[in-house]
């Protein structure tokens, strides 16, 4: 079984509305799909062997005037299906009440981490507005998920997601677990460098598919990196993530299985690292 640490619940029927979806479609940059009932969602998750999914909202209050799923919507989904979902919170660091919004999400909504998108939310991880958010994550032992590398969303300059632009924030907050999503593609080796330097730094494998999932994952694990780098040096810092609904989780699982990893490495990638990152289940 696997834990998917990068899921956007945009197509879940329980939170779907025409107005919200029009905003999500525009800001997430996706064609019309869904909505999906939970029996459909769970059937696809079960087919791929996905035990739990980490749901990531996104607060775009100051940049776009709305949310791509709210903290309350995510908390409601988790409350209904606690065995299948883990909920993160988001907050726009540029809003003046950001610390209060985040602490409320941690304390009252039970959010298990903080979802950020520097390119889409237009901030640098080293900005002064980030310091109180790091302090809250450390206080409540909550990890961060930071969108890194290429962003598919419109109006999201890639420079904000370069791993070297995020390094100082990771370096100066060693007690906060920070995952840079998508292997920070195309900066895979820079991502590797950060993980080698900082044990609190993680990534997940929903990198860009220029070819089939099998071809792209094979390139990621055997060409962009040395073929033994993951097993020898990065075993405890790479997690499974799909970036659903942009990519299908079961296809990525199939691509990982095609790598022929030893059982211990596969289990660590698909499950154990996520449990460590989340602080235990």
Token representation of residue 248:
């299908």
Could you please report the per-residue DSSP string of 49-109? TEEEEEE--EEETTTTSEEES-HHHHHHHHHH-TTTEEE-EE--TTSTTHHHHHHHHHHTS
The reply to whether the predicted model has a pTM over 0.85 is yes
CA trace torsion 22, 161, 191, 90 (10° rounding): -60
Domain interval for residue 8: 2-278
Per-residue pLDDT reduced to its tens digit, 39-79: 899 999 999 999 999 999 999 999 989 888 899 999 999 99
H or E segment and range at residue 178: strand 178-180
Q: How far is CA 125 from the centre of its chain?
A: 16
Token representation of residue 161:
């997601």
Could you please report the per-residue DSSP string of 123-159? --TTSGGGHHHHHHHHHTT--EEE--S---SSS--GG
CA 59 – CA 71 distance, rounded (Å)? 8
Could you please report the per-residue DSSP string of 206-219? ----SS-HHHHHHH
CATH code of the domain covering residue 66: 3.20.20.140
The end-to-end CA distance of the chain, in Å, is 14
Residue 114: which of 127, 105, 126 has the closest Cα?
Answer: 105
The label of the residue with tokens 């909504």 reads: 109
Sign of CA dihedral 109, 114, 117, 122: positive
Instruction: Domain count for the chain, please give it.
Output: 1
So what's the pLDDT on residue 153? 80
Residue 181: which of 91, 248, 92, 242 has the closest Cα?
Answer: 242
Per-residue pLDDT of the chain (281 residues; tens, 9 = 90+): 899 999 998 778 777 776 777 777 777 767 666 678 898 999 999 999 999 999 999 999 999 898 888 999 999 999 999 999 999 999 999 999 999 999 999 999 999 999 999 999 999 999 999 999 999 999 999 999 999 999 878 888 999 999 999 999 999 999 999 999 999 999 999 999 999 999 999 999 998 777 889 999 999 999 999 999 999 999 999 999 999 888 889 999 999 999 999 999 999 999 999 999 999 76
CA 140 – CA 107 distance, rounded (Å)? 9
């Amino acid at each position: 079984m696997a834990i998917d640490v990068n899921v956007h619940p945009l197509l879940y029927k329980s939170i779907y509305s025409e107005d919200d979806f029009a905003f999500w479609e525009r800001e997430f940059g996706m064609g019309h799909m869904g909505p999906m009932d939970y029996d459909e969602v769970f059937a696809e998750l079960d087919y791929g062997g996905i035990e739990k999914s980490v749901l990531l909202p996104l607060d775009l209050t100051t940049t776009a005037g709305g949310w791509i799923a709210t903290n309350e919507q995510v908390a409601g989904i988790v409350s209904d299906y606690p065995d299948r979902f883990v909920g993160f919170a988001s907050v726009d660091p540029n809003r003046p009440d950001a610390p209060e919004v985040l602490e409320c999400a941690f304390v009252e909504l039970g959010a298990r981490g903080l979802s950020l998108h520097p390119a889409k939310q237009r901030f640098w991880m080293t900005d002064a507005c980030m310091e109180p958010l790091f302090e809250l994550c450390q206080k409540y032992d909550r990890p961060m998920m930071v969108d890194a590398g290429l962003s598919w969303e419109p109006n999201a300059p890639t420079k904000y997601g370069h791993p070297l632009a995020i390094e100082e924030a990771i370096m100066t907050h060693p007690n906060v677990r920070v995952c840079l999503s998508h292997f920070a593609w195309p900066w895979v080796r820079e991502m590797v460098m950060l993980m080698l330097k900082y044990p609190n730094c993680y990534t997940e494998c929903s990198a860009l598919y220029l070819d089939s999932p099998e071809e792209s994952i094979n390139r990621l694990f055997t060409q962009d990196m040395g073929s033994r780098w993951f097993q020898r040096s990065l075993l405890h810092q790479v997690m499974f993530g799909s970036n659903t609904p942009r990519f299908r989780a079961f296809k990525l699982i199939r691509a990982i299985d095609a790598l022929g990893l030893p059982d211990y490495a596969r289990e660590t990638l698909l499950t154990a690292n996520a449990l460590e990152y989340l602080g235990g289940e």
